[in-house]
Amino acid sequence: MFIPHTAQEQKEMLARIGVSSVRELLEIPAGLLYPKLNLPAALTEPELAAHIKALGAENKPLKNFIGAGIYEHFIPAAVNALSSRGEFLTAYTPYQAEASQGTLQTIYEFQSCICALTDMDVSNASHYDGATAMAEAVLATMRITGRQKVVLSGALHPQYVEVLHTYLRHFPKVRVETVPCPQGTLDLAALKAAADSDTACFVLADPNFYGQLEDSQAVADVTHAAGALLVSVFNPISLGVLHTPGSCGADFAVAEGQPLGNAMNFGGPGLGLFTCKEAYKRQMPGRIVGMAKDKDGRRSFVLTLQAREQHIRREKAASNICSNEALCALNALIYLTLLGPQGLKEVAQLNLERAHQLAQAVQALPGYQLKFNGPFFNEFVLQCAKPAKQVVKKLEKKGFAAYALSGKGFENCLLVCVTETKTAQDVADFAAALGGI
């Protein structure tokens, strides 16, 4: 509760405490205080609007060929028009199910769409982002198997790896091993050697960080032969044309759901998709919305399979991740509903075709070649004759945004992404810009 105090009341309270000011009460060191805000004079509303417009005019929009986890896709106008309605935009997390039937229904429909998309049995109401969903899936496999070893693909997104290590830093007995991907995809022989009787899970990205497609079924077979569980990290748009995690034997399938009707927004917020097989649903973190009937026999929606320990007894909880990205999940639901199976297939096909058109065009340029020869979806690694960071700077001057990889063996490599937002002319212009460097 907020209770305003008069200046006299504040003075009396400070005197009772024995200090002369709030600053003295808080004892903020002088070195931490900003001496003065150098703000300009106040503006009227029309003047401020003109000033903001002038600042915006200084932006130099670039054609975006960056992917690497956050993707630029076309978002139908109906997505934001519907999700920005007051009933959705102002709704809070539904703790009391009976008061939140509309929100609960949208989450239930979202879960249904994600299960249909992935061919998995159960979906939760979402997570903060793809990286936290992946980390939570790993913890679930450790609880299920009782094992203390986690094996990762060497082509997993490096930021996902960082998040996982953050989660595991208080698990001193857990060992994390990485299987190399020397040709851009997983070395199956190395996976067989790494997957032993102490392995809880193997984490596979397909498509992987380099855009390459993996043999998910073969990976699942090797993983299960060792008694371990498979955590599949997928691209939701790619499932319009590629095999689903469920059809390849994944035990947990997680993803960053931002490509489904959510803008890039400078990298956030994200939308963590989390699914699993029926047998593991009670180890699923977060919340699940289920369908039931009320006392009059009418269809209703409730929060179910959510342990109270997630809220109050942290040490007994399977997970302390209790919140979900409901508004982002609503965007994903509307997007998938608008497109339907055929629309999603067409979007995925455009991604596939445009990316391969660009790959073919740049390979014809002197000084450029694909680093890996395997099949890919909408991203690929392009090896340049010059350091990648130099190429990126020169592309910016030509009006294009590109992503420079780093690390041993990738100093001269770009990770190039093409989505349905790029026309055939955009593809040709990007290739021409590379050729002019």
Instruction: Give the CATH number of the domain where residue 350 resides.
Output: 3.90.1150.10
Find, among 433, 238, 209, the residue nearest to 350 by Cα: 238
End residue of a domain, out of 282, 314, 335: 335
Read out DSSP for 291-334? EEE-TTS-EEEEEES--THHHH-GGG-S-S-----HHHHHHHHH
The structure tokens listed for 153 are 């693909």
Mean pLDDT, the chain, integer: 92
Q: How many whole angstroms separate alpha carbon 76 and alpha carbon 261?
A: 8
Looking at residue 70, its amino acid is I
Look at residue 263 and tell me whether its pLDDT is greater than 60. yes
Q: How many whole angstroms separate alpha carbon 161 and alpha carbon 154?
A: 10
The structure tokens listed for 180 are 């190399």
Q: How many whole angstroms separate alpha carbon 316 and alpha carbon 314?
A: 5
In a domain, 6, yes or no: no
| CA distance readout (Å), 331 to 303, 328, 344 | 20, 5, 15
Q: What share of the chain is helix, strand, coil (3-state, %, to 5)?
A: 45, 15, 40
Q: H or E stretch including 417?
A: strand 413-417
In a domain, 188, yes or no: yes
Looking at residue 289, its amino acid is V
Looking at the chain, the whole-number percentage of residues with pLDDT higher than 90 is 77
pLDDT for 353-398, tens place per residue? 999 999 999 999 999 999 999 999 999 999 999 999 999 999 999 9
Place 259 in a pLDDT band, splitting at 50, 70 and 90. Answer: very high
Residues 278 and 142 both lie in one domain:
yes
The residue-averaged pLDDT of 17-41 equals: 82
In a domain, 81, yes or no: yes
The residue-averaged pLDDT of 140-146 equals: 96
In a domain, 42, yes or no: no
Task: Indicate if the alpha-carbon torsion angle 201, 207, 210, 214 is positive or negative.
Answer: positive
The residue-averaged pLDDT of 64-71 equals: 96
pLDDT for 282-318, tens place per residue? 898 888 899 999 899 999 998 887 766 566 666 777 7
Residues 216 and 357 both lie in one domain:
no
Look at residue 119 and tell me whether its pLDDT is greater than 80. yes
Owner of token pair 């956030």: 268
End residue of a domain, out of 335, 362, 377: 335
Q: H or E stretch including 226?
A: none
Residues 414 and 330 both lie in one domain:
no
Residues 349 and 317 both lie in one domain:
no
Residues 175 and 302 both lie in one domain:
yes
Instruction: Give the CATH number of the domain where residue 241 resides.
Output: 3.40.640.10
Check residue 219 and report its DSSP letter: H
pLDDT for 223-241, tens place per residue? 999 999 999 999 999 999 9
Question: How many CB atoms are closer than 10 A to CB 278?
Answer: 9
Residues 248 and 110 both lie in one domain:
yes
End residue of a domain, out of 320, 335, 350: 335
Q: What's the domain count of the chain?
A: 2
Look at residue 177 and tell me whether its pLDDT is greater than 50. yes
Residues 178 and 206 both lie in one domain:
yes
In a domain, 266, yes or no: yes
Asked whether the beta carbons of 382 and 370 are under 8 A apart, the reply is: yes
Residues 171 and 313 both lie in one domain:
yes
Look at residue 253 and tell me whether its pLDDT is greater than 80. yes
Instruction: Return the pLDDT at 268.
Output: 83
Place 1 in a pLDDT band, splitting at 50, 70 and 90. Answer: very low
Residues 297 and 349 both lie in one domain:
no
**Pairing between β-strand 63-64 and β-strand 400-401 as defined by DSSP bridges:** parallel
Q: Could you list the residue range(s) of the whole structural domain that residue 131 is in? A: 77-335
